[in-house]
Chain A
Amino acid sequence: MSRHAALDTFGRSGNPLIRSNAFDSTAAFGDEKMTLQGAVNKTSMLLAMTVLTAGLSWNIQTPVMGLISMLGIGAALIAAISTFGFYFFFVGWILKPRPHLAPKTAPIYALGMGFAVGLISQTFEAQFPGIVLEAVSLTFFVAASMLLAYKTGIIKPDRNFLLMLFAATMGVVLTYLANLIYTLVTGNVFFVLTDNGWMGIGFSLLVVAIAALNLVLDFDIIEQGAERGAPKYIEWFGAMALVMTLIWLYLEILRLLAKLRSR
């Protein structure tokens, strides 16, 4: 054991994701091992669940459904935090990641987030007809392109890639958190998030790019898990991470298209 507690906790880097062995606690190699096919099946199942509840909240527009959607989002957040953990700057892991919970939490997350996706999509569709189809198509187009780039080795995720992407993703998360606080206090929204000028569109493009690059990390988690014979539950974990990024990417593309259309 090292004499330095910080080194024991984080390794050489202070960033919990940059340190090696990110899934050490999950590295139980039992009899049942994950496969690529299993991860694909689970991703399909989770996406189907998301579409199911998205369809419900899309078609039924009542105040009760609004409340239901909020509850669904709450359940999805609990599921996501319990699986991926909760990290806070300077404090460390408030709740450690528990990938072995993914078989239970992934369906809860997918069903819960479906309500949010349906509600948001319906709102955008009412304003800009046809925008949802475009956003869904673009999401899959981007995802397929990133997957092709990853599988062929055009994009090679390494530690520097992870470091930069983690910093960029945290930047986006903090911007959204700051916006939330700003909205609660002043009732307004950050200019850059709603602006349909070049600044707003540029910001949206940047966030779409960050979300798309996050897909590469999800592919790498799944690929490496199958390669090393990781436990079966990593299939659910990888699928959940992938669906989470796909939903984020979809919502960002939706926002970008809305900005472009409102010009």
Chain B
Amino acid sequence: MSASTILVGVLGAASAFMFFYLLRFKASAKQTNRDDRINWYGAESKVHDPKVPVDQSRDVDKPVPEIHEPEDRAPDRSARPQAIPSIAPVQASSPRMNKWLIAAAVVLIVVLLLSFYESTNA
């Protein structure tokens, strides 16, 4: 093993250590306290109330149109399922997506089993 190989190896190991070490720390105030930051999560406030859907909390200032319906004709809104707001939190994956994921996982398991079979026969 040449000296340059050792040097490159040491550089790589030190860099990897630095990378994982630095990743744990919060960024400096210079980085976080900026007005022009990219708003990845779209929330104005730091923490949302989990009980309030995101789009409802945003539309607080907008006037809500009043609906006057005779009591006897008024539909039973409590029984109707609520429509999912466009930006409501998505809690569960769709069945279609699950099928794709299961298919991908099955392919991967087969791949791993075949690779182990190969390694034992090699």
Contacts and interface: CB of A to CB of B under 8 A. Distances in A.
Contacts of A161: 38
B50 interface: yes
Contact of A156 (B31, B89, B104): B31
A71 B9 contact: no
A66 to B, nearest CB: 11
Contacts of B27: 150-153, 219, 223
A56 B119 contact: yes
Interface stretch (A135-143, A170-178, A189-197, A201-209): A135-143
Interface string B80-104: 0000000111110100010011011
A98 B97 contact: yes
B32 to A, nearest CB: 7
A228 B122 contact: no
Say whether chain A's binding surface is mostly helix, strand, loop, or mixed: helix
Given A140-B16, A151-B31, A112 B108 contact: yes
Contacts of B97: 82, 98, 101
Contacts of A157: 37-38
A85 to B, nearest CB: 11
Nearest to B4: A130
Interface in A27-61: 27-31, 36-37, 39-40, 43-44, 53, 56-57, 59-60
Contacts of A220: 37-38, 40
A62 interface: yes
A107 B101 CA distance: 11
Interface of A: 20-31, 36-37, 39-40, 43-44, 53, 56-57, 59-60, 62, 64-65, 68, 71-72, 74-75, 78-79, 82, 98, 100-101, 104-105, 108, 111-112, 115, 130, 133-134, 136-138, 140-141, 143-144, 147-148, 150-153, 156-159, 161-162, 217, 219-231
A28 B89 contact: yes
A19 to B, nearest CB: 9
A228 B47 contact: yes
B86 to A, nearest CB: 8
Contacts, number: 219
A227 B28 CA distance: 12
Interface string B1-43: 0000100110111011011101111111111101011111111
A156 B34 contact: yes
Given A111-B108, A151-B28, A158 B118 contact: no
Contact of B110 (A23, A71, A140): A71
A183 to B, nearest CB: 25
A108 B108 contact: yes
B8 to A, nearest CB: 5
A75 B16 contact: no
Nearest to A145: B15
Nearest to B92: A100
B42 A75 contact: no
A163 to B, nearest CB: 10
A57 B13 CA distance: 23
User: Which 10 pairs, one residue from A and one from B, show the smallest C-beta to C-beta distance?
Assistant: A28-B89, A137-B12, A21-B42, A153-B30, A140-B15, A153-B31, A158-B36, A141-B15, A144-B18, A24-B87
A27 B108 contact: no
A20 B39 contact: yes
B12 A60 contact: no
A221 B40 contact: yes
A112 B100 CA distance: 15
Given A133-B9, A144-B15, A40 B24 contact: yes
Nearest to A140: B15
B73 interface: no
